[in-house]
Structure 1
Amino acid sequence: MRRVEHVMGFPVSLRVDDEQVPGSAVDAVFAWLREVDERFSPFKPGSEVSRLDRGEIGPCEVSADLAEVLALCEEYRVATGGAFDVRLPGRGLDPCAVVKGWAVQRAAELLRAAGVERFCLNAGGDVVAAGGPWRVGVRHTERADRLCTVLEITDGAVATSAHYERGAHILDGRTGRPATGLLSVTVIAATLTEADSTATAAFAMGTEGIAWASARPGCQVFAVDAERRVLRTEGVPVAA
């Protein structure tokens, strides 16, 4: 079973290789992601995030889901010394860097709860996979038609942060300016919540982010710095 929809501003594709595919579980995945977009997008005036940012609801009045997301945002802000920050001066509250991985990981858990064993859920290039091996390509930093490497994932997640798709959109919260020092950071972890947030946080930190991400429990890192040097931890699961 394969299905693709444009949700949360990017294409989301789901492939399930089980012999029996519960259609209700697949529907639930995309319904959940559409719900997240409505509730947590800072670009939708009626979202919970926008209402919180305008002061229409207080921090103690947010939903349990948003409270969880904001707690994760604060965890990464503290861990990076402020390089990762969803409340930059002069900008509205924007937790998208955490919401994407968190939401897609939750979608993967819906599949597992429904008994789906072998699947690959790809959200704009960030991947949760189960029942592999699955081959996941990491895009070249300067050539859209080439790959830097191909990873082999059995059960886990892969996320990449870079400037090549959306320009200099990742800011260093310590300076308020676009992050420098790295061209891309790919993190492999048990969950996409961890992989995506860690990749974005590491990119925001610049070159020091590689060592920081590598030291996080369960994380493997593949990065390309501004000098076009490839840096990776020993456990990166490169496909044969």
Structure 2
Amino acid sequence: MEPYGYTFRALGGPCTLRIYGRSESACAAAADAVQAEVLRIERKYSRYRDDSVVSRINGLAGSDVGIEVDDETAGLLDYADAAYAQSDGLFDITSGVLRRAWDFRSGRVPEQSQIQELLQLVGWHRVKWDRPRIKLPLPEMQLDFGGFGKEYAADRAAAILRRHDIEHGLVDLSGDLVLVGPHPDGSPWRVGIQHPRDTARAMAVVDLEAGAVAGSGDYERYFEQDGKRYCHILNPMTGWPVGELSAVSVIASQCLVAGTATTIAMLKEKDGKAWLGNLGLPWIAAHRDGTVTGSIDHRSAARMDYRPGESSDAWRAAIKQTMSSR
């Protein structure tokens, strides 16, 4: 069985597949199918496309009619609803409107009055979601699937590989990983978890045979002013960037869960570590002061067996529904 590698760009970054197969043609067909699926998800949910589902929902904000969505979109909205409850309102797909105040290319800190005005448009609890119809009650209110779209695409990519009888492979969508079984000889994949301040070294190294790894941090999009770092992870209740943790990575059975968990932990700030501990998944976090903590051993390479428990029953049900909608 030979290894084959494929790369393409989607969802704003590089995408890489490393797969083993008995023939190059079979692996190429699987890779083509994965690329088509990831691009389909990008087209369907990108906020930058006028013809996307998200843009159609946002375009009817403030109207009385709303829009009826398909099963896949309904599954994702159910998941967002469960994550909102699981995070006590911190994981909120209506918070993207705060980008109007925060332009991380200009490096300008907005006025509190500007943030306060936008906060009136934030809050999943305001959304009228009665499956399969969704309605944004306020003009200029927005949904944004950017907080979990890439992770969902990574899980879908892995599902496509399995559908093509690929039993050994790796999906990497801009650093969000899903492992499709071990190497053909049974050996695990060695995965390095990026250090938030030193990209040349890993914060930890883990050996995994399956599962997913996702990370979130203040190093992806940010600017510094007067010695303070302002990152793109914005608290939907205050409108301001997080400032306690520098990075969080989580291992889970699905990338969708791992990615959501990292974001929630970042948003919970000082309570993030305790929340991760209660979640029951392997995790590692770097603090602004440089210290590293977590259930993943960061002092040496460690063989990790991920635990598939995904916390509350409501969240597990939402995950199952989401992943079965395609």
Alignment TM-score > 0.5, same fold: yes
Is the Cα–Cα contact under 8 Å of residues 57 and 67 in structure 2 kept in the other structure?
A: no
List gaps (5 residues or longer) in structure 2. 96-118, 122-140, 183-187, 223-230, 304-326
Aligned-pair CA distance for 1:181:
0.7
Distance in 1, matches of 2:168 and 2:297, equals 23
Q: Partner of 2:76 in structure 1?
A: 69
- Could you tell me whether the CA contact under 8 Å between 1:159 and 1:188 is conserved in 2? yes
1:86 aligns with 2:149: no
2:245 aligned residue (182, 201, 211) = 182
Of residues 37, 41, 45 in structure 1, which corresponds to 2:42? 37
Q: 1:199 aligns with which of 258, 262, 274?
A: 262
Deviation at 1:53, TM superposition (A): 1.2
Write the deviation string for residues 22-47 of structure 1: whole angstroms up to 9, x where unpaired: 23221111001101111101122221
Matched, 1:157 2:160: no
On the 8 A contact 2:284/2:296 being kept in 1, the answer is: no
Give the match for residue 285 of structure 2. 223
Q: Which of 44, 50, 59 is the matching residue for 1:54?
A: 59
The structural deviation recorded for 1:234 is: 5.6
For 1:51, the aligned partner's letter is R
TM superposition shift of 1:149 = 1.4
How far 1:111 moved relative to its partner?
0.7
- Greater shift, 36-45 or 49-58, is seen at 49-58
Structure of higher CA gyration radius: 2
- The CA deviation string for residues 97-134 of structure 1, in whole angstroms up to 9 with x for no partner, is 11111121011011112210110110101100122211
2:287 and 2:295 map into 1 onto residues whose CA distance is 14
Partner AA of 2:7 in structure 1: V
Q: 1:14 aligns with which of 8, 13, 17?
A: 17
Pick which of 133-142 and 48-57 moved more.
48-57
SS of equivalent residue, structure 1 residue 144: coil
Quick check: 82-91 or 190-199, which moved more? 82-91
Aligned to 1:113: 163
Tell me, yes or no, if the aligned pair for 1:105 and 1:192 is still in contact at 8 Å: yes
Report which stretch shifted further, 94-103 or 154-163: 94-103
1:104 corresponds to 2:154: yes
- Once residues 9 and 221 of structure 2 are traced to their aligned partners in structure 1, the CA distance between those partners, rounded to angstroms, is 17
Give yes or no for contact 2:192–2:205 (8 Å, CA) kept in 1.
yes
Give the Cα separation in 2 of the matches to 1:234 and 1:14. 25
Give how far 1:155 is off. Answer: 0.5
Aligned length: 239
Return the alpha-carbon distance in structure 1 between the equivalents of residues 53 and 212 of structure 2.
27
Shift of 1:233: 1.3
Identity across the alignment (%):
30
| Cα pair distance change 1:134/1:223, threshold 3 Å | same
Inter-partner Cα distance in structure 2 for 1:172 and 1:94: 15
- Contact 1:84/1:205 (8 A) holds in 2: no
In 2, Cα distance between equivalents of 1:18 and 1:214: 38
TM-score normalised to structure 1 length = 0.92
For 1:178 and 1:190, locate their aligned partners in 2 and report how far apart those are by CA, in whole Å: 29
User: Structure 2 length normalisation: TM-score?
Assistant: 0.69
- Deviation per CA, 1:176-195, whole angstroms, max 9, x where unpaired? 21112100000001111111
